Amino acid sequence: MKITDIKTYPMWIPLRETEPLSAYPKRRSVHILVEVTTDEGIKGYGESIPYTYGAVGGYIEQQLKPLLVGEDPMQVERLWNKVYHISFGHGIKGISIQALSAVEIALWDIIGKARKLPVYEMLGGLCKPKVKAYASLMEYKKPEEVAKISQRWVEEGYKGIKIHQGKHDGVACTKAVRDAVGDDIAVMLDVNGAWTPGEALKAARQLERYDLTWLEEPIWPVDDYGSLAWLRTKTDIPIAGGENEYTHYGFKNIVEKHPYDLLQPDVIMTGGISVCRKIFALAEAWNLDLATHSFFFGPGIPASVHLSLSNNRSEWVEINAVPLESYFIDPAYRPEKGYLTAPNKPGLGFEVDWEVVKKYAIK
């Protein structure tokens, strides 16, 4: 079997929001589907992070496609290293690895379809039949809005709520959500690196009373692992992060500096399924918890589910609870009664809805 073509399909699909509306309603509307075609007619699909679809698409077309056309898609490890080495000189992190991640996920999809096995079977088989989903919120303007939308997602079955709020309202919103959902729902706070180390410590002391499952990326810059390690010794709240780190080499640097209690690799950013498996092994060796980062809607979600189901330490999968106007994969891998399972189908276990892809295509 040989790779014959690689294509990207950027789309603009709006969120289907209800009241309260998020503070940035047009966010999370761009999506990038990546298709790898073979000479045996088997196609695999991946997804790239959507912020710079022109740059990612151009990198895949100009850098990755010439390297990979004619290659055997079954040789994932060799191809990953081949592509990773050409990132030398123009960035061993960022867009180059995001593009590689998307293609690598598509290769796993091809292998599963060729072998007639779900991806999780090729990763060692199921460790559990289902994995908990937490509702990852958009940003909202007021604590009462965060509380209201949190109640909605709990009523729909989500087992946890992750708040995305900024520098000045993280504590107030956490209190509002905890008061709204009660003590039996997991609550996480992600401030996206909003605080200095001193501000993070002050906030952590105020947050400790609200029983957070984790505090995510509290310090800027997010790779200031020394300051994060210091904060971790000053609070009882578990500290989480890793979505902005790249490859298992980057995560080796993380675990050696001890900044986190919980690692959050992102399969469409950090290098793909093969890399996440290596990061999972690092977490096991350093006795750390895991929760994949997956704030998107395409093939990256099933990839995260397959990884989580085939690993004992991965308790949660992140889901942007706000639905899309239309989904471009079927099934869309949305939770049922707060849990996600993987279909017993070859590869990643979905079909592309080409009518949706065509309708929402970015020209």
Tell me where in the chain the CATH 3.30.390.10 domain(s) lie: 3-116+355-359
- Tell me what pLDDT residue 54 has: 84
Q: For the residues 336-351, what does the mean pLDDT come to?
A: 95
For residue 348, the Cα-to-chain-centroid distance in whole angstroms is: 15
Tell me the helices (H) and strands (E) count for the chain, helix number first. Answer: 13, 14
* pLDDT tens digits along 68-98: 999 999 999 999 999 999 888 778 888 999 9
For tokens 């308790």, the residue is: 315
User: Which top CATH class is 121-352?
Assistant: alpha beta
- From 3-7, 23-27, 83-87, 142-146, the region with the lowest mean pLDDT: 23-27
Residue 52 predicted with pLDDT over 80: no
- Tell me what pLDDT residue 88 has: 81
- From 157-171, 178-192, 255-269, 292-306, the region with the lowest mean pLDDT: 157-171
CA-CA-CA-CA torsion for 178, 179, 184, 189, nearest 10 degrees? -10
Instruction: Say which amino acid occupies 68.
Output: L
* pLDDT tens digits along 111-137: 999 999 999 999 999 999 999 999 999
Asked if residue 332 lies in contact with residue 351, where contact means CB atoms within 8 angstroms, the answer is no
Banded model confidence at residue 139, pLDDT cuts 50, 70, 90: very high
- Tell me what pLDDT residue 55 has: 87
- Tell me what pLDDT residue 28 has: 79
Tell me where in the chain the CATH 3.20.20.120 domain(s) lie: 121-352
Q: Is the domain covering 3-116+355-359 a CATH 3.30.390.10 domain?
A: yes
- Tell me what pLDDT residue 27 has: 76
Banded model confidence at residue 162, pLDDT cuts 50, 70, 90: very high
Neighbours of 18 (CB within 10 A): 9
- Tell me what pLDDT residue 168 has: 83
Cis-peptide, bond into residue 302, ω within 30° of zero: no
Residue 24 predicted with pLDDT over 90: no
- Tell me what pLDDT residue 167 has: 79
Distance CA 327, CA 301 (A): 12
Which tokens hold the place of 64?
A: 């990755």
Whole-structure pTM value: 0.96
For tokens 């509380």, the residue is: 147
Neighbours of 303 (CB within 10 A): 30
Mean pLDDT of the chain: 95
Residue 334 predicted with pLDDT over 90: yes
Q: What share of the chain is helix, strand, coil (3-state, %, to 5)?
A: 40, 20, 40
Residue 50 predicted with pLDDT over 90: no
* pLDDT tens digits along 211-258: 999 999 999 999 999 999 999 999 999 999 999 999 999 999 999 999
* pLDDT tens digits along 35-49: 999 999 999 999 998
